[in-house]
Structure formats: C-alpha cells, structure tokens
DNA sequence: TCTGGGGTCCTAGGACCC
DNA sequence: TCTGGGGTCCTAGGACCC
C-alpha cells in the first residue's frame, strides 16, 4: 500500500480568518482587495503579518515593514489581528481535518499533516483531498490548499504550489518534473543564508542540489544539514506524522522599543515587563524553569545572549527578574543603544519540590502572593 | 523601507572526568 | 616534559520555521 500524506495549509490564514469575521459583521471581503493584517500601523516598526492575494500581486510580502507596504500601495487596507478568533478558526479547521484521519499532526496554527495511508480504502486521493478542502470552505468560509505526497516533505512542498483553494500532488515519480526545476530557496529548510551559500557554489535549483554530493554540501552547510538537504532534494523523508502533543521546551518574551534606547531605567522597565509575561506563561502551564537567558538586540540587528542555570527550578517572577538583571549587566554597557530586549526560560520541569522552602523564607511567600495577584489581573495573556 | 514575536534544532568550543 | 581519546555538560551563536 502506498504511503499517502496530506498537508493542509490555510491560504493567507490570518487574513482569511479576519475576512470571515468581518463578513459576519457585514463588512466587505478584504480578500478581494489589497489588504494586510499587521501590528499597530502608527508604530513605524510594525510589520506585515499576512497579506491578501491582490496585495501580494503588488509586491507586498509577509514580514515587510508596514511603512514600505504603504509606499507601494497607499490605499492598502490595514487590519489588526485577533488572536482569540484565530484560535477558534484553527480549532474548527483542525477538527474537520481530524474526521478524515485520526493520524493528524498539527504543525502550526494554520497547518497540519494527515496520514491517509489506511483511510483512503481505494478512493482517489485527489478526490478525497478536494472533498476536504470544499468541506472546510463551505462550513468555515475560508480556503485551504491540500498537498498530497508519499511523505510529509513532498506533501508540504505540494501544498505550496499554486494558491488558493487548490489540491496538488507531488509523488516520488513527480519529483524530477515538479520539484527539481524550482529554486533551492523553495525547498523546506533552505533559508536565506543557506541559499546564499548554495548559490555561491553554483547550486541554483533543487535539481542541482539533488545531484550535488554530500561531501561538498557538508563543507557548505555542515554535516547534518547536508544529509537532510540531499535527501529532501531527492524527495526522501522518513519522518512520521506525530500525533503526540509535545510540551514546549522553552518560553520567551521580547519587546522591541519604538525608538532605540540607551537609558538603563527604560531598559529595566522593559526587562521587568517581559519577565512578568514569560513567568506568567510558565505558571499558567505549571512549569518551573532551571535556565534563564536574556538577549539584547543592537541597532544593526546583532544579538548578544547570556544564560545561566538556576540552582532551584522556579516560576517566581522576582527570582527570575533578579537573575535577568544580573545577566543584562554582564552583557550591556548601559550606553550602546538597544533595539530589543528579551527573556527566555528553558530546562522546564513540572516538579514542585521547592514548596518546602516556603516555610523557610517568608520573602518567598510575599513573592508568590505578588505573582498570584498578577496572574489574576492578566488571565488571558497570549 | 528599514525590518515583530515566538519557537526548534544544530554546531563549535571549553570544562571536566575517566 | 609532553601528552590520547572519548564522553558529557554547558554556553553562545546561528539557521530555520510560522
């Protein structure tokens, strides 16, 4: 039996979902005009989160600064994101997909893989995928692309072909015809830097990559990535559709300043805020952290990061903030302008062995009470 | 035009141990 | 006086994804 994987990808997810919401309120369909979902348009540093197809046709892209997009298209319709609504849409889309196969891996808020190998029972995969996409469109009001392949990589590559509202196949025997002519950047896991290195070596298409020996590739991108790229360019991928829920391994929060700052007090306020947010989030998920890191970003986008172990895993904001301040003082000269500051928590555990120390240090009780009151006032922080 | 926020994984070098 | 090889853990930085 042929292994058959579907990859379902919501077309311009945040934009489509916002459009559905606005249609319910009797507003025009923003999918039909140049429009984007973005952060606060008055903040010159906000960027495009999602763009409509008419906007993309004008050259507007995800992750572009809003100011640049407005220069391209002064009439651009800008809308703000609504994360709670997006979660609702995502759940609706995932639950329809799940009725087609229980072997489902959610890959992000707007993408999932389905292992259809034992679900087709002689039915044509393209017909089944078309039924799935049409059911989502008629029940939820937004379109998806479905990519069909004999593994996850090929299914995902296929869903990225012509959009929107399309079903495409990419079977192993179609790799040469449909995938090899594409530029290397179109291959999953080939980003900007890898593309640069490959181009410098004369590797332009996925086909070029497929025919390059792993020895040469190793010198360009390292051993592990070389083996992966070589396999993927040849359409090979053995990774299973993982149905298990995976707990997060790290949490982080960061803030980019509207203007670069060099005032230590401003930095400290931001550090306090991001530490509160990230500590709140681990408490909500009943984690404690044994490792904390801080990172600062300079004007030129260079990042310096410092981390340390925490002897006793903790979720107490005050203790984390104390470490964060110490780490920042080790890496920042309190003068060079900063663009961004962030705090990350990792080496997470669910253990609650530090409860004992509550009876030893009254200060900790005070800290915990402070955190409880914070958690009550910000119950739905994303 | 001037570049967000939140994640995962890999690599390379140093410390330390046997 | 000069010194191997392997393993593990940690850190900093970098690449990728959505």
pLDDT tens figures, A273-311: 999 999 999 999 999 999 999 999 999 999 999 999 998
φ, ψ for residue A301, nearest 5 deg: 75, 5
A358 pLDDT higher than 70: no
Distance between the alpha carbon (CA) of A331 and the C1' atom of B13, Å = 20
A382 pLDDT higher than 50: no
Higher-confidence position of A354 and A330? A330
A127 pLDDT higher than 70: yes
Average pLDDT value for residue range A217-225: 91
Hits for CB < 7 Å against strand B across A residues 206-235: 222-225
Distance between the alpha carbon (CA) of A296 and the C1' atom of B12, Å = 22
Distance between the alpha carbon (CA) of A50 and the C1' atom of B5, Å = 14
Chain C nucleotides close to protein (CB under 7 A) are 10-18
Mean pLDDT of all residues belonging to chain A: 94
pLDDT tens-digit map of A149-172: 999 999 999 999 999 999 999 999
A215 pLDDT higher than 60: yes
Average pLDDT value for residue range A214-242: 94
Query: Which helix (H) or strand (E) covers residue A273, if one does?
Result: helix A264-284
pLDDT tens-digit map of A95-115: 999 999 999 999 999 999 999
Q: What is the per-residue pLDDT for A346? A: 96
Three-state SS for A104? Answer: strand
Q: What is the per-residue pLDDT for A381? A: 45
**Length of chain A in residues, anyone?**
382
Q: What is the per-residue pLDDT for A330? A: 95
**Please, which pLDDT band fits residue A352 given cuts at 50, 70 and 90?**
confident
Q: What is the per-residue pLDDT for A356? A: 58
Answer yes or no: is A259 CB < 7 A from strand B: no
For each of the domains in chain A, give its residue range(s) and CATH number, in order of start.
1-172 (3.30.70.270), 180-233 (1.10.150.20), 250-380 (3.30.1490.100)
Query: Are the C-beta atoms of A331 and A382 separated by less than 8 Å?
Result: no
Question: Shortest CA–C1' contact from A69: which nucleotide?
Answer: B1
Q: Which two tokens stand for residue A69?
A: 């997009």
Query: Are the C-beta atoms of A49 and A30 separated by less than 8 Å?
Result: no
- The whole-model pTM stands at 0.94
Distance between the alpha carbon (CA) of A110 and the C1' atom of C2, Å = 61
Question: Shortest CA–C1' contact from A191: which nucleotide?
Answer: C16
Angle at A246 between CA A119 and CA A353, to 5 degrees: 150
Closest residue, by C-alpha, to the C1' of C9: A309
Distance between the alpha carbon (CA) of A163 and the C1' atom of B12, Å = 41
Query: Are the C-beta atoms of A36 and A73 separated by less than 8 Å?
Result: no
A354 pLDDT higher than 80: no
A360 pLDDT higher than 80: no
Query: Are the C-beta atoms of A252 and A303 separated by less than 8 Å?
Result: no
Average pLDDT value for residue range A343-354: 87
Closest residue, by C-alpha, to the C1' of C18: A108
Q: Which two tokens stand for residue A301?
A: 């986008």
**Please, which pLDDT band fits residue A40 given cuts at 50, 70 and 90?**
confident
Q: Which two tokens stand for residue A277?
A: 């947010």
% of chain A with per-residue pLDDT over 70: 97
Q: What is the per-residue pLDDT for A117? A: 97
CA distances from A363 to A26, A278, A285, A318, A357 (A): 55, 21, 24, 10, 10
pLDDT tens-digit map of A185-200: 999 999 999 999 999 9
Q: What is the per-residue pLDDT for A311? A: 86
Closest residue, by C-alpha, to the C1' of B1: A68
């Amino acid at each position: 039996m042929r292994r058959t994987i579907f990859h379902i990808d919501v077309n311009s997810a945040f934009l489509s979902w916002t459009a559905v919401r606005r249609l319910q309120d009797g507003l025009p369909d923003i999918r039909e005009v140049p429009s984007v979902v973005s952060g606060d348009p008055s903040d010159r540093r906000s960027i495009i989160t999602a763009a409509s197809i008419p906007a993309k046709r004008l050259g507007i892209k995800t992750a572009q600064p809003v100011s640049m997009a407005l220069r391209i298209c002064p009439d651009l319709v800008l809308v703000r994101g609504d994360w709670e609504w997006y979660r609702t849409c995502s759940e609706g889309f995932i639950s329809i997909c799940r009725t087609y196969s229980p072997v489902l891996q959610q890959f992000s808020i707007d993408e999932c893989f389905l292992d259809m190998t034992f679900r087709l029972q002689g039915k044509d995969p393209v017909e089944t995928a078309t039924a799935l996409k049409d059911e989502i469109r008629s029940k939820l009001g937004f379109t998806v692309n479905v990519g069909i392949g004999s593994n996850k990589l090929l299914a995902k590559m296929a869903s990225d072909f012509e959009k929107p509202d399309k079903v495409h196949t990419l079977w192993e025997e179609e790799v040469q015809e449909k995938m090899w002519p594409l530029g290397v950047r179109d291959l999953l896991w080939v980003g900007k830097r890898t593309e640069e290195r490959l181009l410098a070596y004369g590797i332009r298409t996925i086909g070029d990559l497929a025919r390059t020996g792993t020895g040469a590739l190793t010198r360009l991108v390292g051993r592990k990535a070389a083996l992966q790229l070589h396999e993927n360019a040849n359409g090979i991928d053995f990774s299973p559709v993982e149905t298990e829920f995976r707990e997060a391994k790290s949490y982080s929060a960061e803030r980019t300043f509207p203007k670069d700052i060099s005032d230590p007090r401003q930095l400290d306020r931001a550090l306090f805020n991001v530490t509160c947010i990230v500590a709140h989030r681990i408490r909500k998920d009943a984690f404690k952290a044994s490792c904390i890191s801080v990172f600062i970003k300079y004007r030129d986008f260079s990042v310096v990061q410092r981390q340390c172990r925490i002897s006793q895993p903790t979720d107490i904001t005050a203790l984390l903030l104390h470490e964060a301040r110490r780490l920042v003082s080790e890496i920042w000269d309190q003068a060079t302008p900063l663009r961004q500051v962030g705090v990350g928590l990792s080496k997470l555990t669910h253990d609650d062995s530090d409860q004992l120390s509550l009876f030893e240090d009254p200060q900790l009780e005070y800290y915990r009470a402070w955190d409880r009151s914070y958690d009550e006032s910000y119950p739905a922080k994303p």
